Structure 1
Amino acid sequence: MDLLVSSLVIAIAVAFSNIIARYTKHIAGTYINLLMGVIVAAIPWTNHLVLGFNNEVFMILILAPLLFFEGQTTPLLMVGKKAKSIIGVAVILAVGSAIVATVITSRLLLLSLPVALTIVAIATPTDATAFDAVVEGRKIPQPIRNILKMESLFNDATGIILLQAGILWLTTGHLSFWQNTTAFFKSAVGGLILGAILAFIVMAFRQYFVRSTNNVISSQTLFYLLTPFLIYFLAEKVEVSGIIAVVTAGLVHNSEANRSRFSSPRQMHLGIQLINLMTEVLNSAVFVILGISLARILVSHSQILFGSLTWLIVGVVVYGLLLICRYLYARLFVSDRRRKTAWLFSLGGVHGTVTLAMTFSIANQISLQLFNFIIVVETVVIILSMLVPTILFKFLLLIDGDAEIRTTELARIRHDMVTKGIESLEVMALSPTVKAIVVYDLQDQIRKNTLGSFFEQWHAFTANKAGLTKLQGVEQRRALMHALDVERDYLFQLEKNHLASPDDIDEIYSELLLAESLVLDPRNQML
Structure 2
Amino acid sequence: MFELFPFFLCLTLAILLLVMLAEKIKVAYPIVLVAAGLIISFVPGLPLLHIESELIFVIFLPPLLYDAAGKISWKELWKWRRIICSFAFLVVLFSAFSVALAANYFIPGFSLALGFLLGGIVSPPDAVSTGAILKFVNVPKRIASILEGESLLNDASSLIIFRFALIAVGTGEFIIHKAVGSFVWMVAAGVLMGLLVGFIIMKLHKNLPTDANIDVILSLISPYLMYIAAEEIHSSGVLAVVAGGLYLANHKFWFLSSSSRLRGINVWDSLSFLLNGLVFMLIGLDLTEIISGLGATSIYLATGYGLMITFVLIFSRMLSAFMAVFVTLIARNFITVADSRHPGYKGVVLIGWSGMRGVVSLAAALSVPEMLREGTEFPQRSLILFITFIVILTTLLLQGLTLPYVIKKINMQEVDYTMSEEEMYHAIRQELNAYALEILERDYDQAVREEVLLGQLASRLRENSERTQDMLLSEEGRNVYREVLLLQREWLLQRNKEHNITAEVINRHLLVLDLEQEKLEHI
TM-score, scaled to structure 1: 0.73
Residue 52 (structure 1) aligned with residue 33 (structure 2): no
**Which position in structure 2 is the counterpart of 1:15?**
16
Residues 105 and 317 of structure 1 are in contact (CA less than 8 Å); yes or no, is this contact kept in structure 2?
Answer: no
1:412 to 1:35, Cα distance in 2 relative to 1, 3 A: farther
Q: Cα deviation per residue 1:372-420 (whole Å; 9 max; x = unaligned)?
A: 11112112221222223235435421289x99xxxx987533322256x
Residue 354 (structure 1) aligned with residue 365 (structure 2): no
Residues 130 and 352 of structure 1 are in contact (CA less than 8 Å); yes or no, is this contact kept in structure 2?
Answer: yes
Residues 330 and 345 of structure 1 are in contact (CA less than 8 Å); yes or no, is this contact kept in structure 2?
Answer: no
1:147 to 1:42, Cα distance in 2 relative to 1, 3 A: same
- What is the deviation of 1:469? 5.9
- What is the deviation of 1:67? 0.4
Q: 1:125 corresponds to which letter in structure 2?
A: P
Provide the C-alpha distance between the structure 1 equivalents of 2:507 and 2:368, rounded to a whole number of angstroms.
62
Provide the C-alpha distance between the structure 2 equivalents of 1:112 and 1:386, rounded to a whole number of angstroms.
28
Residues 311 and 373 of structure 1 are in contact (CA less than 8 Å); yes or no, is this contact kept in structure 2?
Answer: no
Residues 126 and 352 of structure 1 are in contact (CA less than 8 Å); yes or no, is this contact kept in structure 2?
Answer: yes
2:348 pairs with one of 342, 349, 353: 342
- What is the deviation of 1:279? 2.0
**Which position in structure 2 is the counterpart of 1:374?**
384
Q: 1:68 corresponds to which letter in structure 2?
A: Y
Q: 1:414 corresponds to which letter in structure 2?
A: R
Moved more, 1-10 or 344-353: 1-10
Correspondences of 1:233-312 after superposition (within 5 Å): 233-260=228-255, 264-294=257-287, 296-298=289-291, 301=294, 304-306=297-299, 308=301, 311-312=305-306
**Which position in structure 1 is the counterpart of 2:67?**
69
Q: Cα deviation per residue 1:141-181 (whole Å; 9 max; x = unaligned)?
A: 22112111111111112112211222222233222222112
- What is the deviation of 1:103? 3.0
**Which position in structure 1 is the counterpart of 2:168?**
169
1:474 to 1:115, Cα distance in 2 relative to 1, 3 A: closer
Residues 40 and 285 of structure 2 are in contact (CA less than 8 Å); yes or no, is this contact kept in structure 1?
Answer: yes
- What is the deviation of 1:89? 1.6
**Which position in structure 2 is the counterpart of 1:28?**
28
- What is the deviation of 1:134? 4.2
Residue 315 (structure 1) aligned with residue 309 (structure 2): yes
- What is the deviation of 1:351? 0.7
Q: 1:331 corresponds to which letter in structure 2?
A: V
**Which position in structure 2 is the counterpart of 1:327?**
321
**Which position in structure 1 is the counterpart of 2:488?**
441
**Which position in structure 1 is the counterpart of 2:469?**
none
Q: Cα deviation per residue 1:486-525 (whole Å; 9 max; x = unaligned)?
A: x98xxxxxxxxxxxxxxxx9841779xxxxxxxxxxxxxx
- What is the deviation of 1:73? 1.3
Moved more, 291-300 or 189-198: 291-300
**Which position in structure 2 is the counterpart of 1:91?**
89
1:365 to 1:130, Cα distance in 2 relative to 1, 3 A: farther
Residues 101 and 321 of structure 1 are in contact (CA less than 8 Å); yes or no, is this contact kept in structure 2?
Answer: no
Residues 93 and 329 of structure 1 are in contact (CA less than 8 Å); yes or no, is this contact kept in structure 2?
Answer: no
- What is the deviation of 1:244? 0.7
1:159 to 1:475, Cα distance in 2 relative to 1, 3 A: closer
- What is the deviation of 1:33? 2.2
1:326 to 1:221, Cα distance in 2 relative to 1, 3 A: same
Tell me, which stretches of 5 or more residues in structure 2 are unaligned? Answer: 329-338, 412-419, 422-471
Residues 31 and 396 of structure 2 are in contact (CA less than 8 Å); yes or no, is this contact kept in structure 1?
Answer: no
**Which position in structure 1 is the counterpart of 2:183?**
184
**Which position in structure 2 is the counterpart of 1:229?**
224
Q: 1:182 corresponds to which letter in structure 2?
A: G
- The SS at the match of 2:41 is helix
Provide the C-alpha distance between the structure 1 equivalents of 2:518 and 2:213, rounded to a whole number of angstroms.
29
1:41 to 1:477, Cα distance in 2 relative to 1, 3 A: closer
Provide the C-alpha distance between the structure 2 equivalents of 1:473 and 1:203, rounded to a whole number of angstroms.
35
Provide the C-alpha distance between the structure 2 equivalents of 1:307 and 1:475, rounded to a whole number of angstroms.
66
Q: Cα deviation per residue 1:56-98 (whole Å; 9 max; x = unaligned)?
A: 1111111111101111112444433333333222122222332
Q: 1:270 corresponds to which letter in structure 2?
A: R
Residues 134 and 386 of structure 1 are in contact (CA less than 8 Å); yes or no, is this contact kept in structure 2?
Answer: no
Q: 1:42 corresponds to which letter in structure 2?
A: F
Provide the C-alpha distance between the structure 2 equivalents of 1:27 and 1:215, rounded to a whole number of angstroms.
41
Residue 130 (structure 1) aligned with residue 129 (structure 2): yes
Moved more, 328-337 or 365-374: 328-337
Q: Cα deviation per residue 1:117-141 (whole Å; 9 max; x = unaligned)?
A: 1111111222111223444522222
Provide the C-alpha distance between the structure 1 equivalents of 2:188 and 2:203, rounded to a whole number of angstroms.
22
Provide the C-alpha distance between the structure 2 equivalents of 1:278 and 1:180, rounded to a whole number of angstroms.
37
- What is the deviation of 1:18? 2.7
1:249 to 1:394, Cα distance in 2 relative to 1, 3 A: closer
Provide the C-alpha distance between the structure 2 equivalents of 1:242 and 1:132, rounded to a whole number of angstroms.
22
Residue 508 (structure 1) aligned with residue 520 (structure 2): yes
**Percent pairwise identity:** 19
- What is the deviation of 1:306? 3.4
1:4 to 1:52, Cα distance in 2 relative to 1, 3 A: same
**Which position in structure 2 is the counterpart of 1:414?**
478
Residue 193 (structure 1) aligned with residue 192 (structure 2): yes
Q: Cα deviation per residue 1:257-279 (whole Å; 9 max; x = unaligned)?
A: 23345xx3222211121122122
- The SS at the match of 2:408 is coil
**Which position in structure 2 is the counterpart of 1:81?**
79
Residues 94 and 316 of structure 2 are in contact (CA less than 8 Å); yes or no, is this contact kept in structure 1?
Answer: no
- The SS at the match of 1:397 is helix
Q: 1:375 corresponds to which letter in structure 2?
A: L
**Which position in structure 2 is the counterpart of 1:454?**
none
Provide the C-alpha distance between the structure 1 equivalents of 2:502 and 2:404, rounded to a whole number of angstroms.
58
Tell me, which stretches of 5 or more residues in structure 1 are unaligned? Answer: 423-438, 445-456, 489-504, 512-527
1:302 to 1:258, Cα distance in 2 relative to 1, 3 A: farther
Provide the C-alpha distance between the structure 1 equivalents of 2:502 and 2:346, rounded to a whole number of angstroms.
65
Provide the C-alpha distance between the structure 1 equivalents of 2:281 and 2:505, rounded to a whole number of angstroms.
49
Residue 363 (structure 1) aligned with residue 369 (structure 2): yes
Provide the C-alpha distance between the structure 1 equivalents of 2:505 and 2:100, rounded to a whole number of angstroms.
75
Provide the C-alpha distance between the structure 1 equivalents of 2:8 and 2:227, rounded to a whole number of angstroms.
20
1:54 to 1:411, Cα distance in 2 relative to 1, 3 A: farther
Residues 478 and 520 of structure 2 are in contact (CA less than 8 Å); yes or no, is this contact kept in structure 1?
Answer: yes
Moved more, 291-300 or 153-162: 291-300
Q: 1:378 corresponds to which letter in structure 2?
A: T
1:364 to 1:345, Cα distance in 2 relative to 1, 3 A: same
Provide the C-alpha distance between the structure 1 equivalents of 2:13 and 2:28, rounded to a whole number of angstroms.
19
Provide the C-alpha distance between the structure 2 equivalents of 1:25 and 1:184, rounded to a whole number of angstroms.
44
1:44 to 1:190, Cα distance in 2 relative to 1, 3 A: farther
Provide the C-alpha distance between the structure 1 equivalents of 2:192 and 2:520, rounded to a whole number of angstroms.
41
